[in-house]
């Protein structure tokens, strides 16, 4: 039985392997690869890849076969972080306790590194997938949908347009569904698309994934105003500084915590109905709960 530490080690080792391989075959400057690798390999939880691997295990898949798509999730996430931190976006100097990409490599290279990572993730699935062509194509289609204007970017645009405005709960949910939730859902969709499990199991896992994505954003909104910059690894209180609408600003801290707890309990209820026991899922839920109420 794999632990979170085991999964994290597997993912990070494979990511390093991919970067070494493709950088070695690059015909031009390695600077863009250095910038791409820098943010992707910054110390992180690797939650999205870990949940992808664990979901694959629960659905009876060989985790080694789903490893390339799982790594593509971390690559996609890194692209979104680089662009999110840019001066024209959230203008942040810290990410995971280290200087952000544009602070190290400059804005132009940071923009290009994000662009390159966006395509690199899809390339990894295409080049390294061990599934048949139909499954591989579906995985790439899912990656493209989630990473582009139908997914993360849609949420990011809505988030930018909502700055310094009073928006309603439906708009807030839309932002978080796509900006944060879409990538978490993709963590589950990859193994679901590659497996032959029954429709009810798949539907309930998708429900768990969608609920988890919203719950994680509520969690993120809460810790942004309750933890320090050192604890977060990024600038604390950034949402308030940027005048962003969050669950905390809309409902207040106590009610945001209540919403988080409700979503957490719903996730546990879904797992109970599925009769799926996962130490990995439970550990992740417990760790988020502990931080919210620390």
Q: Does residue 255 surpass a pLDDT of 70? A: yes
Q: Does residue 28 surpass a pLDDT of 90? A: no
Phi, psi of 238, rounded to the nearest 5 degrees: -65, -35
Dihedral sign from CA coordinates of 188, 192, 195, 198: positive
The tens digit of pLDDT for each residue in 175-213 reads 989 988 999 999 999 999 999 878 888 899 999 999 999
Domain ranges of the chain: 4-292
pLDDT at 268: 93
Phi, psi of 94, rounded to the nearest 5 degrees: -125, 140
4-292: CATH homologous superfamily? Farnesyl Diphosphate Synthase (1.10.600.10)
pLDDT at 153: 93
Q: Does residue 233 surpass a pLDDT of 80? A: no
Q: Does residue 240 surpass a pLDDT of 70? A: no
Percent of the chain residues topping a pLDDT of 70: 96
The tens digit of pLDDT for each residue in 130-153 reads 999 999 999 999 999 999 999 999
pLDDT at 274: 83
Percent of the chain residues topping a pLDDT of 90: 68
Contact 121, 143 (CB under 8 A): yes
68 CB-contact burial (10 Å; exposed 0-12 / middle 13-18 / buried 19+) = buried
pLDDT at 7: 96
Among residues 205, 234, 221, which one has the least CA distance to residue 172? 221
Mean pLDDT of the chain: 91
The tens digit of pLDDT for each residue in 63-88 reads 999 999 999 999 999 999 999 999 99
- Residue 167 φ/ψ region, left for φ over 0, alpha for ψ in the -120 to 50 degree band, beta for the rest: beta
The Cα 98–Cα 116 span in angstroms is 21
Predicted confidence band of residue 230 (pLDDT cuts 50, 70, 90): confident
pLDDT at 236: 65
Average pLDDT over residues 212-229: 89
pLDDT at 241: 67
Contact 87, 98 (CB under 8 A): no
């Amino acid at each position: 039985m794999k632990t979170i530490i085991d999964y994290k080690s597997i993912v990070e080792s494979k990511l390093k392997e991919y970067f070494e391989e493709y950088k070695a075959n690059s015909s031009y400057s390695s600077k863009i690869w250095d910038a791409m690798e820098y943010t992707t390999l910054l110390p992180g939880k690797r939650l999205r890849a870990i949940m992808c691997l664990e979901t694959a295990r629960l659905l009876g898949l060989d985790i080694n076969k789903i490893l390339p798509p799982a790594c593509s999730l971390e690559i996609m996430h890194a692209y979104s972080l680089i662009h999110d931190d840019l001066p024209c976006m959230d203008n942040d100097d810290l990410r995971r306790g280290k200087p952000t990409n544009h602070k190290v490599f400059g804005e132009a290279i940071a923009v290009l590194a994000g662009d390159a990572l966006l395509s690199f993730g899809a390339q990894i699935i295409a080049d390294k997938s061990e599934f048949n062509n139909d499954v591989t194509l579906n995985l790439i289609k899912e990656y493209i949908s989630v990473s582009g204007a139908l997914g993360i970017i849609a949420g990011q645009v809505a988030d930018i347009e909502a700055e310094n405005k009073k928006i309603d709960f439906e708009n807030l949910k839309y932002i978080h569904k796509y900006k944060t939730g879409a990538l978490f859902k993709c963590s589950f969709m990859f193994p679901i698309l590659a497996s032959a499990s029954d429709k009810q199991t798949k539907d309930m896992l998708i429900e768990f994934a969608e609920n988890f994505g919203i719950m994680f954003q509520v969690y993120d909104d809460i810790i942004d105003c309750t933890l320090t910059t050192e604890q977060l690894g990024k600038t604390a209180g950034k949402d308030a500084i940027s005048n962003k609408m969050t669950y905390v600003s809309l409902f207040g801290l106590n009610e945001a915590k209540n919403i988080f707890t409700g979503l957490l309990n719903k996730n546990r209820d879904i797992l109970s109905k599925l009769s799926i026991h996962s130490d990995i899922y439970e550990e992740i839920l417990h760790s988020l709960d502990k931080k919210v109420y620390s």
